[in-house]
Amino acid sequence: MKLWDYLKDRLWFFFIAAVSLGLMLLFLTAFRVSGQLTATICVIFGFFLIAEETAGFLRKKRFYDDMQGKLDGLDKKYLIHEMLKKPSFLDGQILFDALCEANKSMCENVAEYKRTADDFREFIEMWVHEIKLPVASLQLMAHNHSDELGEKFQEQLRRIDGYTDQVLYYARSENAEKDYIIKETPLRRTVANVALKNRESAQLCGAFIETEGLDLSVMTDGKWLEFMLGQLMANSLKYTVEGREPVIRISAEELPDRVLLHFRDNGTGIPEADLPRIFDKSFTGENGRSYAKSTGMGLYIVRSLCERLGHSITASSVKGEYTEFTIAFAKNQFYKMI
């Protein structure tokens, strides 16, 4: 709080003080009071004015400067009232109480939304597990009564399964609760599961899957990683170049402090202008518009999951040549020691 601003704010008070001083001087002159007494009264009046204003200014300055300083330092600014001491002056006290009151009401409001969101997520989680039962059932039926239609049914059932998984992992990635476990996961097994799950679609477009150096383990949640790689593979199989044999190359390399998992295809690639935004929510870009319809959610979910697990994901691409995603897993020395 600056002195000049404070004084400007108190302009009315000074105006009234000046008017009363003028009146007083007028009466003092009218009663023919001696010049010395008038001077004394003026000095006392002046002293009172300065003392009162200084005290008021300092009291408020201390409180508001403290508040502003703490506000700048806080990353959760709504917690400001927890950091303040109740001030000694009235308007400050009213403000302080109002802050507490407003905050309490906001907390209740937020809690209600959180509850609704949690309920919804729980329901989605449950619903996804329920919907998988009829899907599993249909898949068995399609297999048991396999004729020409069987394979077609299987294909559609796989699509349903893929979309429900997307919903499930979207709900998981948006939630603050910790519902994953990080443990040592062998990359070979995870990649094999993903490949196996996408075998039919890979064969449909005649894709080759090459692997290299996958005999490494990383610290991650296996199920989440499977989902992420599944999304990348689905994209690679979707955006292929006509007349070129699709090749997906999955390789891992070990660095001193982390393990890198490269996922590279020789598909259509991503235009340079789109590249920085591919992980954004609902971003479809040129490929999403000109090829098969896309939701723009897959890569967004992948990145959210990566962030939650503490991995980093980057993409590089040359249009018409290749796209490469790289996931970096941190190595944990602590776990290694155990």
Q: How would you classify the pairing of strands 247-254 and 258-265?
A: antiparallel
Question: Cβ neighbours of residue 55 under 8 Å, at least 6 residues apart?
Answer: none
Nearest to 237 by CA among 209, 261, 270: 209
CA pair distance 244, 24, nearest whole angstrom:
100
d(CA 129, CA 143): 21
Residue with tokens 């992948």: 302
**Nearest residue (CB) to other proteins, 41 versus 128:** 128
Choices 36-44, 85-93, 178-186, 307-315; region in contact with other proteins by CB under 8 A: 178-186
Q: Is 153 in the site for other proteins (CB under 8 A)?
A: no
Minimum CB distance to other proteins, residue 214 (Å): 8
End-to-end CA distance of the chain: 56
Nearer to other proteins, 278 or 301 (CB): 301
User: Residues 185-224 vs other proteins: string with x where CB under 8 A?
Assistant: ---x---x--xxx-x--xx--xxxxxx---------xxxx
- Residue closer to other proteins (CB basis): 99 or 192: 192
Is 165 an interacting residue with respect to other proteins (CB under 8 A)? yes
Among 51, 107, 141, 273, binds other proteins (CB under 8 A): 141
One residue of 168, 187, 219, 306 binding other proteins per CB under 8 A = 168
Shortest distance in whole angstroms from residue 148 CB to other proteins: 10
* Binding status of residue 161 toward other proteins by CB under 8 A: yes
265: its two tokens: 């295809």
Which position has the token pair 């999304």?
231
- The minimum distance between CB 280 and other proteins, in angstroms, equals 26
Answer yes or no: are the C-beta atoms of 191 and 327 closer than 8 Å: no
The residue from 43, 140, 149, 318 that contacts other proteins (CB under 8 A) is 140
What φ, ψ does residue 195 adopt, rounded to 5°?
Answer: -60, -45
Provide Rg for the chain, Cα atoms: 35
Name which of residues 222 to 261 contact other proteins (CB under 8 A): 222-224
Q: Which of 18, 44, 181, 318 binds other proteins (CB under 8 A)?
A: 181
Burial of 13 (0-12, 13-18, 19+ CB in 10 A): middle
Residue of the chain from 81, 121, 157, 229 that contacts other proteins (CB under 8 A): 157
- 129 scored as a contact of other proteins (CB under 8 A): yes
Interface size with other proteins, residues (CB under 8 A): 41
- The token pair at 149 is 């239609």
Shortest distance, CB of residue 194 to other proteins, whole angstroms? Answer: 11
Which pairing describes strands 312-318 and 322-330: parallel, antiparallel, or unpaired?
antiparallel
Nearer to other proteins, 60 or 197 (CB): 197
CB of 5 to other proteins, least distance (A): 58
Determine the Cα–Cα distance for residues 99 and 86; give it in Å rounded to an integer: 11
In DSSP terms, which residues pair with 214 in a beta bridge? none
Instruction: Report the residue count for the chain.
Output: 338
Per CB under 8 A, residues contacting other proteins are 129-130, 132-141, 143-144, 151, 157, 161, 165, 168, 179-181, 183, 188, 192, 195-197, 199, 202-203, 206-211, 221-224
